[in-house]
Amino acid sequence: MEKKKKRIFDIIQIGKRDDLISRTFDIFIATVIITNIAVLFLDTFSSMEKYGTVLKTLEVLTITIFCVEYLLRIWTAEYLYPGKSRVQAILKFLTSFDGIVDLLTILPFFFLSGFIAFRMLRVVRIFHLFRINTYYDSFNVITTVLYEKKNQIISSVFIILVLILASSLCMYSAEHEVQPEAFNNAFSGMWWSISTILTVGYGDIYPVTVVGRAMAIIIAFLGVGVVAIPTGIISAGFVEQYTRIQNSNPGTGRGRGTVSVTVDASSPFLEQKVSQIEKENDLDVIAFVRRGAVVLPAEDNVIKEGDVIICRIGK
């Protein structure tokens, strides 16, 4: 019995690429998830009402598969957390991201006619796709970068929040007396500041006073710069992670090692063009990081002090 139980765990465990049955199960579950999400989308079209029976059948079938998979994962949880007792392993799974997503994927089906909150939880089914992608390299690179750069990202998000709060209060103070309906409280100013800083402005609320418009210009320019900070941090993190992977796998990249070089005042690469660096040093420049932004190189790009060059040895 224990042997069969362990075999079931190996099959339902995502990412067992060397196990044909487990790999087939992964593809099957991915198909079921995509089918379930497709039904969720198609159900919102009035033109699909004539296919209501088919859609309902597919939904019941996919939810049933989710329920069986959820019960099997609870049953085999002790193999997922081998250092814990059976009860502790089950509790650990139930409170994990996978366990919560699995449960919230199933529950709304049984409460579709209840509170709107249960109906809205159907959207959680989309996050079910994360369970498959998590076990593959492309998603691992993303999660690794976000984890390693979390402190810098949190700091940049904090700066954005401070700017949003400050700009919303300033705009409320400048515009409230002139258009109290549009800027009737600080939250109205916050809606304006968020839509301005993170986009180009929604257009439903806008300043009309000279002071308000002057502040709007300044805030818009600050928003462009501030929002670019986390983008640069994440981009630099991807380059670092890519370089780390290349260095740890010498066979990658057609057998050529990948290195990163920080250009300082004494560097021979300073003020040289990319084409010159490649020709004189037998290097293949992949990219370079400048002020936190990743730049794809052109032959006439000139390398400046402080740039980080990512290149392969041997063209």
* pLDDT above 90: percentage of residues in the chain: 3
- pLDDT value at position 304? 84
* Cβ-contact 298, 274 below 8 angstroms: yes
Number of H helices, E strands in the chain: 14, 4
- pLDDT value at position 61? 92
* Cβ-contact 254, 296 below 8 angstroms: no
- pLDDT value at position 247? 61
- pLDDT value at position 253? 44
Is pLDDT at 131 greater than 80 in this prediction?
no
Q: How far is CA 154 from the centre of its chain?
A: 15
- pTM exceeds 0.95, yes or no: no
- pLDDT value at position 14? 65
For residues 231-235, average pLDDT: 82
CATH number assigned to the domain covering 2-135: 1.20.120.350
CA angle, 296 then 234 then 270, to 5°? 45
Q: Which CATH number fits domain 158-220: 3.40.630.30, 1.20.120.530, 1.10.287.70, 1.10.287.130?
A: 1.10.287.70
Q: Where are the domains of the chain?
A: 2-135, 158-220, 249-313
Q: Which of 253, 298, 295 is nearest to 309 (CA)?
A: 295
| 15 Ramachandran zone, left/alpha/beta (phi>0; psi -120 to 50) | left
Max avg pLDDT among 60-74, 188-202, 203-217, 226-240: 60-74
pLDDT mean across residues, the chain: 78
pLDDT digits (tens, 9 = 90+) for 240-282: 777 766 665 544 444 455 677 888 877 888 888 888 888 887 7
> Tell me, which fold does domain 249-313 have in CATH?
Alpha-Beta Plaits (3.30.70)
pLDDT digits (tens, 9 = 90+) for 145-160: 787 788 888 888 888 8
